[in-house]
A = this chain, B = another copy of it.
Amino acid sequence: MKIAVDAMGGDYAPEEIIKGAIIAAEASPDVQIILVGQKEHMQKFLSGSLPKNISQYEASEVIAMDEHPANAVRKKKDSSIVVATRLVKQGEADAVVSAGSTGAQMAAALLGLGRIKGIERPAIATILPTPEGGKLILDVGANMDATPEQLCQYGLMGSIYAAKILGISNPRVGLLNVGGEEGKGNDLAQKAYQLLKASPINFIGNVEGRDVPYGRADVVVCEGFTGNILLKTAEGLAGVLFQQIKEKITSNMVRKLGALAVKPGLKEIAQMMDYAEYGGAPLLGVNGISIICHGSSKAKAITNAIRVAQECVQVRLIEQIRDDLPK
């Protein structure tokens, strides 16, 4: 198996990307990791004894975070994300992993790999950590104007991913909505409800915003705008609360002593909430495996994203989605 890693994408590229790739290569000696990027920039992080299953592939250009995604992908044909995706298209890699511009990665995948037949729009499926384990939310921002049919396709793809990759048998699929009862919500939600209800998945009906962090559905279906807001609000609130806790439990001597005792407990929660543990978010619906990482990914997140990519290849995710789609 070969995984192409965009070494130039992300806030900490190429150093942390390369570090993460090396750890992944050491953990899986049978997996070939191809670092795609500017060799001159990668070189200094690749000195010393490297695992044999790490290689480099030159891509002379880089797409920056603030470039217009589709234009940049069309123009910069030798950029790391375009080249890494092309390796998948040409069968020289089985998956691509990137922490660069999400828009560019999506555009590269759509233009380079195309869509799975029967899927109108791909969705970014991300994992939200909950006390009941990681739950899948999709779409969190690939598609800004989804139709009811597309939401139903997200439900099908999400269900397959949750079963095959997250190991949840008969995953409970919920539709994100403003109320629990059938008939609630805007026109999109009402129509999507009916399609999901008629689909062959384990649809449990509407879930409200407050149900999501409790893990009351294994797969949460929503359109990309709302999903993005949900995900980032959760990120922001968790950040604020941990910041406040840190401040308030160390604001005097007595509390500081108490903080020492409870710190391991708080660490357990922080670890549970750590996005990096789950690695990357698959772009579901494109004809190949493309794993999107948070722009701020460090080595651990990259290593885990490469692991996710491997698992997707192992279970033949694309074929599974293709086979399970209504004919």
Contact = CB atoms under 8 A, between A and B. Distances in A.
B231 A209 contact: yes
A91 to B, nearest CB: 34
A226 interface: yes
A145 B188 CA distance: 10
Contact of A209 (B222, B235, B251, B257): B235
Contacts of A236: 208-214
Contacts of A315: none
Given A226-B226, A228-B209, A248 B265 contact: yes
A-side interface mostly: helix
Contact of A233 (B141, B209, B239): B209
A245 interface: yes
A71 B224 CA distance: 33
Interface in A229-279: 229-241, 243-245, 248-251, 254-255, 257-262, 264-266, 268-269, 272-273
A47 interface: no
A261 B255 contact: yes
A188 to B, nearest CB: 8
Q: Which bracket fits the contact residues of A? A: 35 or more
A185 B226 contact: no
A310 B176 CA distance: 36
A130 interface: yes
A235 B44 CA distance: 47
A192 to B, nearest CB: 12
A225 to B, nearest CB: 5
Contacts of A244: 131, 269, 272
Max chain B Cβ within 10 angstroms of own Cβ: one of A208, A234, A260, A262 = A262
Nearest to A210: B236
B230 A229 contact: yes
B232 A229 contact: no
Max chain B Cβ within 10 angstroms of own Cβ: one of A209, A214, A231, A233 = A233
A36 interface: no
Given A241-B269, A245-B266, A248-B268, A145 B186 contact: yes
A266 B237 CA distance: 15
Nearest to A265: B248
A196 interface: no
Interface in A34-63: none
B265 A262 contact: no
Nearest to A231: B209
A230 B228 contact: no
14 contacts: A131-B243, A144-B185, A178-B224, A208-B229, A210-B232, A213-B240, A214-B236, A229-B229, A230-B233, A233-B234, A241-B241, A245-B269, A258-B260, A262-B262
Given A186-B225, A209-B233, 15 more contacts: A131-B244, A144-B178, A176-B229, A209-B229, A209-B230, A210-B235, A210-B236, A213-B236, A213-B240, A222-B229, A226-B226, A233-B237, A238-B241, A249-B262, A255-B264
